[in-house]
Amino acid sequence: MRHAFLPALLLLAACSDPIAREAAEPAEKPVAFFEGLPLSGNLATAVAAGFGQCLDDGRSVRCSKTGVRIMGIGPVHAAIDRTGVDGRFDHLTLWHPDDQSAMLGLRDVLVRAGWQTCLTPDEERFWKPPSPVRLALDTNYWGKRRLVIRATRDAKPYCP
């Protein structure tokens, strides 16, 4: 009999928690996927893809996922960041919490798969026409060596 109140408590928690309320909305279809991970959507899209542990810092909401493998590299951490008032995220960030060089193996995998690359002062960028997917790998020695993936229809060149 104790368990009969559990659904009501969960519903009450969802009503009082704005993140849970947003995650309960219908998932929006992502613009694109990369290795099965959504590159855009709302919080419900992220939760449906296995992202959880959503934290709201007052400016944005970050939902994360551990144990992610991307093109054979990993396991690494992944996160979506919902910023702004539209309630959507527009990119995916991956990193290894302890090994700054863990993402570097991805560079060779992408080049072998035909991705084009260029260097900017802060990142190495990857793209493969006609795909709208763009990847940027931090090159800063002191950073976490994050990989940011987004889909764009922007016509301007990705590399300077």
Instruction: Tell me the C-alpha distance between 102 and 23, whole Å.
Output: 31
Task: Let me know if residue 91 belongs to a domain.
Answer: yes
Report how far Cα 39 is from the mean position of its chain's Cα atoms: 6
pLDDT at 154 over 50: yes
Give me the sign of the Cα torsion angle 10, 13, 28, 134.
Answer: negative
Instruction: Tell me the C-alpha distance between 130 and 4, whole Å.
Output: 53
Task: Let me know if residue 157 belongs to a domain.
Answer: no
- With contact defined as beta carbons under 8 Å apart, do 133 and 39 qualify? yes
25 band by pLDDT with thresholds 50, 70 and 90: confident
Query: Percentage of the chain with pLDDT > 90?
Result: 54
Task: Let me know if residue 143 belongs to a domain.
Answer: yes
107 band by pLDDT with thresholds 50, 70 and 90: very high
Instruction: Tell me the C-alpha distance between 80 and 134, whole Å.
Output: 15
Q: Average pLDDT of 83-90?
A: 80
pLDDT at 66 over 80: yes
Would you state the torsion angle of the CA atoms of residues 110, 111, 115, 120, taken in this order, to the nearest 10 degrees? 100
Task: Let me know if residue 11 belongs to a domain.
Answer: no
pLDDT for res 1: 45
Task: Let me know if residue 113 belongs to a domain.
Answer: yes
pLDDT for res 83: 80
pLDDT at 9 over 60: no
Ranking 21-30, 31-40, 57-66, 132-141 by mean pLDDT, the lowest is: 21-30
Report how far Cα 78 is from the mean position of its chain's Cα atoms: 6
Q: Average pLDDT of 107-123?
A: 93
Instruction: Tell me the C-alpha distance between 156 and 160, whole Å.
Output: 10
- With contact defined as beta carbons under 8 Å apart, do 95 and 76 qualify? yes
12 band by pLDDT with thresholds 50, 70 and 90: very low
What total of structural domains would you count in the chain?
Answer: 1
Query: In this structure, what token pair is assigned to residue 98?
Result: 């302890």
pLDDT at 142 over 80: no
Nearest to 34 by CA among 160, 148, 153: 148
Other C-beta atoms closer than 10 Å to the C-beta of 158 total 16
User: Residue 54's domain spans which residues?
Assistant: 28-151
> ω before 97 within 30° of 0 (cis)?
no
